[in-house]
Each structure stands twice: as C-alpha cells, then as structure tokens.
Amino acid sequence: MKLVVVGSSGFVGKEVVRQALANPAVTSVVGLSRRRTPVPESLEGSSDADKLASVVADDFLNYSDTVKQHLVNADACIWLMAVTPNKSASMPWDQVRKVCLDYTIHGLEELSQAPRKDTSKPLTFVYVSGANAERDPAKKPWLLGEYSVMRGEVEARVLDFAKHSNNAIEACIAKPGFIRDAENGSFLLNALQNVLSGVIRVPVVYLHDVAATLLAQATEGVEKETLESADIARIGGSKKQSAER
C-alpha cells in the first residue's frame, strides 16, 4: 500500500516514516513537508529506505503538479502537519489557524480528488490532533482555550468531510497526550511533562506507540473513529508485543 505522511519532517513524522520503511504492508512512503524528509538514522533491519520519496512543497493551499502526482494511488495518509502549542505562541493567530485548519482541509480535498486505481476501499485519513482539542466551543478549556477549540474544529471538519465524501475518505482522529521519546527524552523534559500531565490531566504516551498506532490504522483499517491516549498505548503496546514474539 502507498502511504502519504504529511508533516514527515517533524518529531512524530520521522518516527512514522522510520516504522513505515520497516513495515512490509507499506510498499511506498511519500514524505510531504516544507523541507526534505531525511532517511531515518536508526532503521530496523528489515527496512527498505528506497520506499521513501521525499517531496518538498512551498504552498500547502495550492499544490504543484509534482505534489499532486505523488498523491496518485495513495491508500492512506497520516496527517501530522500543524503548529504545536509551544510554537503557536510566537506566531500570528491567523497563521496558526491557516496551517492547522486550512492546510488540512485543502490536503483532504486534494487527496479525495487524486486518481486511484483501486477505489473499492476509501482512502484512510489519519489526523493527529491532541488530547486537549475540544470539539465543543462551549467547553473551551482554561488552558490554551482558543488553540484547543480550533484543533477541535479541525477534528470535526475532518470527520464531516469524510462523512460527506461519498465513501472516498475514511477518517480517524488520534488524540495523544504528551508524546515522550523513550529513547531520547531529557530528564528535565520528562520531569516537566510529569508535572504538567498531573496538573492539567493530560496523559503521557510514547512516540513508538503513537507511530505504531497511526500505522496500524493506515495499514489494517480504522479501529475506531477517535483514538484517545489509552487506545494509543494499548494498540502501540500490542504491536510491540507481536514484534517481539
């Protein structure tokens, strides 16, 4: 199957690409970002780096013919492009909203229109949001309220798009809490996450589990429409166990 990873240059994107290159169900990976997607350093033994095509775009509201060509025959897309809360503080709000919302919806439109040989199954669109994203504006959280409601609006728009796509798109929303890299996380960052997760009640999930869960939805089908952190830990953990067997 052909997988498109949008936002592949980022923290989660790189791990998704790393695992996808080792996954025999994935025959090609398009890493679409505003900068080059490198071949990950720590590839697993069975990985095939030649499966990766790094595609750089400079306009995510107006795809070039090259970008459009790379979307042809895609079976699934994992969408990781967004301005994260910490980076959003230093950007104008309309820019943050444009990257998080407009780029995602435009991406969905392009993917749903891209020619596909096999239309017997919808294209799976896995949107990565966050545990704090709130779909009901009346329940605006006290922390990062405007940001959380905006990300919740993206979730609702993605689900609505899929619902009205005439079976072209099947959507899944993943809502991880703080994502920790078990291998590389600094002591200070981990301690800060522990404190924050206690205060604002956001769980910690592991990078490996997040990527494994996203890939499982893309390659094996959507388990449920919305995946919370507990689902991500469960699915990611089960993938690790079966790999160790």
Ligand X SMILES: NC(=O)c1ccc[n+]([C@@H]2O[C@H](COP(=O)([O-])OP(=O)(O)OC[C@H]3O[C@@H](n4cnc5c(N)ncnc54)[C@H](OP(=O)(O)O)[C@@H]3O)[C@@H](O)[C@H]2O)c1
Q: Which of 3, 5, 12, 212 binds ligand X (CB under 6 A)?
A: 12
Q: Which stretch binds ligand X (CB under 6 A): 48-56, 63-71, 79-87, 232-240?
A: 79-87
Taking CB atoms, the residue at the shortest distance from ligand X is 10
Residue 201 binding ligand X, by CB under 6 A:
no
* 10-18, 22-30, 63-71, 138-146 -> range binding ligand X (CB under 6 A): 10-18
Cβ distance to ligand X smaller for residue 116 or 131 = 131
In a 13 Å sphere around the CA of 76, the CA atoms on its Cβ side amount to 24
Q: Give the Cα separation of 210 and 6 in Å (integer).
A: 15
Residue 84 is a binding residue for ligand X (CB under 6 A): yes
State the nearest-atom distance from the C-beta of 214 to ligand X, in Å.
10
- Which stretches of 67-131 are assigned E, i.e. beta strand? 76-79, 123-128
Using the rule CB under 6 A, is 107 a contact of ligand X? no
> Counting contacts by CB under 6 A, is residue 172 touching ligand X?
no
What count of Cα atoms within 13 Å lies in the side-chain half-sphere of residue 123? Answer: 30
Q: Report the candidate in 110, 42, 44 with the shortest Cα–Cα distance to residue 79.
A: 110
- Binding residues for ligand X, total number by CB under 6 A: 21
- Asked if residue 83 binds ligand X (CB under 6 A), the reply is yes
- The reply to whether 78 sits near ligand X by the rule CB under 6 A is no
Least Å distance between CB 118 and ligand X? 28
Please tell me the distance from the alpha carbon of residue 109 to that of residue 162, in angstroms, as a whole number: 10
Query: CB under 6 A: which stretch of 28-36, 48-56, 68-76, 231-239 binds ligand X?
Result: 28-36
Q: How far apart are CA 111 and CA 97, in angstroms?
A: 20
Tokens (6 digits) for 151: 């990300």
Helix (H, G, I), strand (E, B) or coil at 89: coil
Q: Are strands 76-79 and 169-174 parallel, antiparallel or unpaired?
A: unpaired
| Backbone dihedral angles phi then psi of residue 28, each to the nearest 5 degrees | -150, 145
Is the CB of 23 or the CB of 104 nearer to ligand X? 104
Residues 6+ positions from 187 with CB-CB distance below 8 Å: none
Site for ligand X contains 206 (CB under 6 A): no
Q: How far is the CB of 178 from ligand X (least distance, A)?
A: 5
Angle (nearest 5°) at CA 182 between 181 and 187: 90
For ligand X, give the closer residue by CB, 116 or 144.
144
When asked if residue 215 is in the footprint of ligand X (CB under 6 A), the reply is: no
| Interface with ligand X (CB under 6 A), residue from 10, 40, 152, 236 | 10
- How far from each other are the two terminal CA atoms of the chain, in whole angstroms? 24
Positions touching ligand X (CB under 6 A) are 7, 9-13, 33-35, 60, 80-84, 99, 128, 130, 176, 178-179
